[in-house]
């Protein structure tokens, strides 16, 4: 199988359209096997443009579509009949009498299948077959474990295909449960096959195409036995391993991700100088490259990224093109983004909000950090966009913030603020349990305040209640501003789980989904890998 790796969907569509057009130019009477679904739409668009500009002439071609739902009326707007009309046939100079799509209205599907197969043979067989690929590896509607030798037949759709195709219908219930499809044997008899794959949801199955195995539970792998198959896929679908690097003030975390599977995690101390930090990343990358097919690096770094460089306060980075430096020394495409953004991306791809498209991650630590994910992507940001810790919640007598403003949320909702408030209350209430713990330990921490709370200390309870108010006020503002599907809380204090979350929820709107990060400090490196 030849593989053409494209930068993105548009390039994939362009390449496929070029090959499709070349086939027609070489043989104007070509018999073409066509696919539906979202993947070939871009290719069809390009072909329409080429037809309009006179580059390709469809008047001589005969077409056979791979499949059609069953039962379905032709004029149903989700039928493949309608799909082909809308996406190709009514825009090009094709002879509609020479286009064929299995009849989803037939009362006798068995006969329809036999006739369809006969017509393909009578036309001289398919010269070029276009295929998409299902997330479960189906081609046409040949679902996992389908017979290897089947010709056009009536088949039942698997639950996963019904679920994947539900996006085109009102609901999964509306998706027909059966389809008439060319069989594997029909597809394999095409002289040439172009298989298209786009997007990360196909990466698992594309990886199966790239290894040596043939597996009937992934029907597309059978194509490996065909002498002339070209896989044209975009980078998202092409599974190489990605290395995620999360640079922190104390340590640097590494994660190797294949598709969406985490293969390796490591953590090393953060060296002092910029050169040493870059050396560490390069050394680790070179080591990991021997073991994994690393195709790209993503780096999450603290600080402000602007104009392609990063400047951080707690690391020696000043106007540093960190991604360029790492790319040059590793020979791998490298991207970088703010570490909190990476963590938010990690949460939506690997955490407990994978069912969401839009989330906000709020990390409660020394400060309050976070990232905003819109449509499963980091919200395009410049400078301080996404710096949710600096939402101003007190304008009048606001506490001073290191950023120069007064009343920033992190001055109230960070763990440092919580501890400061608790120390203040302990000093003011010498007989309290909270103060006893303070004197015993010589300091307070989130965990020690919870120790006082466990002992039902009223002073600690008051500090905690006030802290929850602060937390809630910022969370409510975030919810109003971004309308996320969920807000994910991370940071040491969230390990208290329900002790923190239950009373917090009482202060928030009922329909606002709050989750505690299951990834915690791993989110950054995992998200960076997905940059
Ligand atoms: C469509 C077809 C299917 C699709 C596959 C991928 O005629 O036969 O096998 O190619 O389900 O669909 P998309 O492209 O929507 O991901």
- With residue 49 as reference, give the H or E element that holds it: helix 41-52
Q: Are residues 332 and 378 in the same domain?
A: no
pLDDT digits (tens, 9 = 90+) for 452-494: 999 999 999 999 999 999 999 999 999 999 999 999 999 989 9
Spatial separation of the C-alpha atoms in residues 148 and 257, rounded to whole Å: 33
Spatial separation of the C-alpha atoms in residues 141 and 32, rounded to whole Å: 18
Q: How far is CA 263 from CA 240, 241, 274, 327, 386, in A?
A: 12, 9, 28, 22, 30
3-class DSSP assignment, residue 124: coil
pLDDT over 70, % of the chain: 97
pLDDT digits (tens, 9 = 90+) for 98-113: 999 999 999 999 999 9
Question: Which residue, by CA, sits nearest to atom 9 of ligand 1?
Answer: 140
**What's the pLDDT band for 146 if we cut at 50, 70, 90?**
low
Question: Which residue, by CA, sits nearest to atom 8 of ligand 1?
Answer: 140
pLDDT at 381: 62
Instruction: Check whether 210 has a pLDDT greater than 90.
Output: no
Token pair belonging to 30: 């070509």
Can you give the CATH number for the domain in which 340 is found? Answer: 3.30.420.40
pLDDT digits (tens, 9 = 90+) for 265-293: 999 999 999 999 999 999 999 999 988 88
Question: Which residue, by CA, sits nearest to atom 3 of ligand 1?
Answer: 140
* Known catalytic membership, residue 11: no
With a 6 A CB cut-off, is 67 part of the ligand 1 pocket?
yes
Nearest to 230 by CA among 216, 213, 215, 209: 209
Which residue out of 51, 87, 136, 165 is catalytically annotated? 136
Mean pLDDT value of segment 259-265: 83
70 - beta bridge partners? 178
pLDDT at 429: 98
Buried b (16+ CB within 10 A) or exposed e, 115-130: bbbeebeebeebbbbb
Which residue out of 112, 117, 127, 143 is catalytically annotated? 143
Pairing of β 377-378 and β 368-374? antiparallel
pLDDT at 353: 93
Question: Which residue, by CA, sits nearest to atom 1 of ligand 1?
Answer: 36
* Known catalytic membership, residue 138: yes
Spatial separation of the C-alpha atoms in residues 475 and 494, rounded to whole Å: 15
Token pair belonging to 170: 């009102």
Of 238, 268, 292, which marks where a domain is finished? 238
Q: Are residues 174 and 253 in the same domain?
A: no
Q: Are residues 50 and 86 in the same domain?
A: yes
Which residues lie closer than 8 Å to 400 by C-beta, 6 or more apart?
Answer: 406, 411
Cα of 35 to ligand 1 centre, how many Å?
Answer: 7
pLDDT over 90, % of the chain: 75
pLDDT digits (tens, 9 = 90+) for 25-37: 999 999 999 999 9
Least confident of 49-53, 76-80, 353-357: 353-357
Q: Are residues 388 and 364 in the same domain?
A: yes
Mean pLDDT value of segment 193-204: 91
Does the reported pTM lie above 0.95? no
Cα of 213 to ligand 1 centre, how many Å?
Answer: 22
Of 211, 238, 265, which marks where a domain is finished? 238
Of 238, 262, 282, which marks where a domain is finished? 238
Instruction: Check whether 5 has a pLDDT greater than 90.
Output: no
Site to substitute for ligand 1 among 41, 84, 132, most atoms within 8 A of C-beta: 132
Neighbours of 20 (CB within 10 A): 23
pLDDT digits (tens, 9 = 90+) for 290-338: 888 888 899 999 888 888 899 887 789 999 999 999 999 998 889 999 8
Q: Are residues 303 and 444 in the same domain?
A: no
Structurally, the chain folds into a number of domains equal to: 3
Mean pLDDT value of segment 236-259: 88
298 - beta bridge partners? 244, 335
* Known catalytic membership, residue 496: no
* Known catalytic membership, residue 136: yes
pLDDT at 382: 57
Cα of 356 to ligand 1 centre, how many Å?
Answer: 24
Give the residue with greater pLDDT, 513 vs 212.
Answer: 513
Cα of 218 to ligand 1 centre, how many Å?
Answer: 14
Domain with 152, as residue range(s), is: 2-238
Which residues lie closer than 8 Å to 52 by C-beta, 6 or more apart?
Answer: 91
């Amino acid at each position: 199988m030849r593989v053409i790796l494209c930068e993105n969907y548009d390039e994939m569509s362009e390449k496929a359209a070029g090959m499709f057009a070349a086939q027609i130019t070489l043989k104007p009477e070509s018999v073409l096997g066509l696919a539906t679904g979202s993947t070939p739409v871009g290719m069809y668009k390009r072909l329409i443009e080429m037809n309009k500009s006179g580059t390709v002439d469809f008047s001589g071609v005969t077409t056979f579509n791979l499949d059609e739902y069953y039962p379905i009326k032709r004029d149903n707007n989700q039928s493949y009949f309608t799909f082909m009309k809308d996406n190709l046939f009514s825009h090009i100079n094709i002879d509609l009498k020479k286009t064929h799509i299995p009849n989803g209205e037939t009362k006798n599907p068995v006969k329809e299948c036999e006739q369809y197969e006969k017509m393909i043979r009578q036309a001289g067989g398919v010269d070029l077959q276009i295929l998409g690929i299902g997330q479960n590896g189906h081609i046409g509607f040949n679902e996992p474990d389908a017979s290897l030798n089947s010709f056009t037949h009536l088949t039942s759709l698997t639950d996963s295909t019904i679920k994947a195709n539900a996006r085109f219908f009102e609901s999964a219930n509306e998706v027909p449960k059966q389809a008439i499809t060319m069989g594997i044997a029909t597809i394999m008899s095409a002289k040439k096959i172009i298989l298209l794959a786009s997007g990360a949801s196909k990466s698992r199955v594309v990886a199966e195409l790239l290894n040596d195995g043939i597996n009937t539970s992934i029907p597309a792998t059978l194509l490996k036995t065909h002498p002339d198959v070209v896989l044209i896929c975009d980078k998202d679908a092409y599974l190489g391993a990605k290395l995620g690097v999360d640079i922190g003030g104390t340590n640097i975390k590494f994660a190797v991700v294949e598709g969406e599977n985490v293969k390796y995690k490591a953590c090393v101390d953060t060296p002092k100088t910029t050169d040493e930090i870059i050396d560490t990343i390069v050394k680790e990358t070179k080591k990991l490259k021997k073991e994994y097919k690393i195709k790209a690096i993503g780096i999450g770094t603290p600080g402000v990224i602007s104009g392609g460089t990063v400047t951080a306060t707690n690391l020696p980075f000043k106007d540093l093109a960190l991604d360029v430096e790492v790319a040059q020394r590793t020979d791998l495409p490298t991207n970088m983004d703010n570490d909190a953004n990476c963590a938010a991306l990690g949460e939506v791809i690997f955490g407990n909000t994978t069912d969401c498209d839009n989330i906000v991650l709020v990390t409660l630590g020394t400060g309050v950090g976070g990232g905003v994910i819109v449509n499963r992507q980091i919200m395009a940001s410049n400078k301080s966009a996404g710096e949710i810790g600096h939402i101003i919640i007190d304008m009048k007598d606001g506490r001073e913030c290191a950023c120069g403003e007064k009343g920033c949320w992190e001055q109230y909702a960070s763990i440092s603020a919580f501890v400061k408030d608790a120390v203040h209350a302990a000093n003011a209430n010498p007989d309290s349990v909270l103060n006893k713990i303070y004197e015993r330990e010589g300091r307070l921490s989130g965990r020690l305040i919870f120790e006082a709370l466990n002992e039902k200390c009223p002073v600690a309870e008051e500090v905690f209640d006030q802290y929850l108010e602060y937390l809630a006020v910022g969370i409510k503002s975030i919810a109003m501003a971004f309308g996320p599907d969920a807000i994910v809380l991370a940071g040491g204090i969230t390990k208290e789980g329900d002790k923190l979350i239950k009373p917090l929820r009482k202060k928030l709107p009922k329909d606002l989904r709050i989750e505690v990060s299951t990834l915690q400090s791993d989110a950054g490196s995992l998200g960076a890998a997905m940059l």
